[in-house]
Amino acid sequence: MRSLRILVLTIFMITPLRVVAEVENDKFESFNRTMFKFNETVDLLFLKPLAQLYVRLMPEPFEQAVGHMVGNLNEVTTAANCGLQGKAQDMFRASARFLLNTSIGVGGLFDVAHTVFDLESVSSEDFGQTLAVWGVAQGPYLVLPLRGPSSLRDISGTVFASFTNPLNFYSEIDVRNSIRALSLLSIRGELLGVEEIVAGDRYIFIRDVYQQKRQYAISDGVIEDDFDFDDDY
């Protein structure tokens, strides 16, 4: 949890100010604020209480196992997008991690790829990032019901991800839905306490952090500043 807060704050502080200026062009702000309020209400009444109960009742090893499983399901999407972006080494590493963790790691519950084979994870990649690398503009900022911050470009990425998530091809619907519910609770549980760092207008804060986080991911953590310093100093 502490590392997640540090990541959010770091991205918010080091990303160029021009990124904030770009995201302020919020063409659908009225609609977005309505959806934002709806999502906040659903979270307050349902998701957050369930996530708090999940964290309180579940043993830490179980939480970690679910976290590993969630990450493992994303490996295929990451591998596919690494390939589309020309990152061959990352594509093969993500693919190997998925095969090892799915088989030896009992469906991804254990990260044997790292602990046994010293194969570290690859930064998560999605089709929205791939489109950005290909030069596709972000388009208008959007807040989707139950999903939260997004953009026209990232919505396309969500559609693509439905074809690369192995869970969507599992035949047992009850099991599939149970895994999705556990994944959602695990992700929401990791965000408990992050509200403490939100300052001012929550809508604007989350909008700007989302945009900066996306820019950080697209550039693979390489931040270009807009400040001109004389090399003589």
What pLDDT, on the 0 to 100 scale, is given for residue 145?
94
Are 70 and 183 in contact, with CB atoms under 8 Å apart? Answer: yes
pTM of the model: 0.81
32-56 burial, b if ≥16 CB within 10 A, otherwise e?
bbebbeebeeebeeebbebbeebbe
CB-CB neighbours of 165 under 10 Å: 15
Q: Are 65 and 107 in contact (CB under 8 A)?
A: no
pLDDT of residue 25: 66
Residue the block writes with tokens 């990232």: 154
Would you state the pLDDT for residue 73?
A: 92
| Alpha-carbon dihedral angle through residues 167, 61, 46, 176, given to the nearest 10 degrees | 20
Helices (H) and strands (E) in the chain, counts: 12, 2
Domain edges within the chain: 2-218
pLDDT-flagged residues of the chain (< 70) = 1-25, 223-233
Task: Give per-residue pLDDT as tens, 10-26.
Answer: 444 444 444 444 545 68
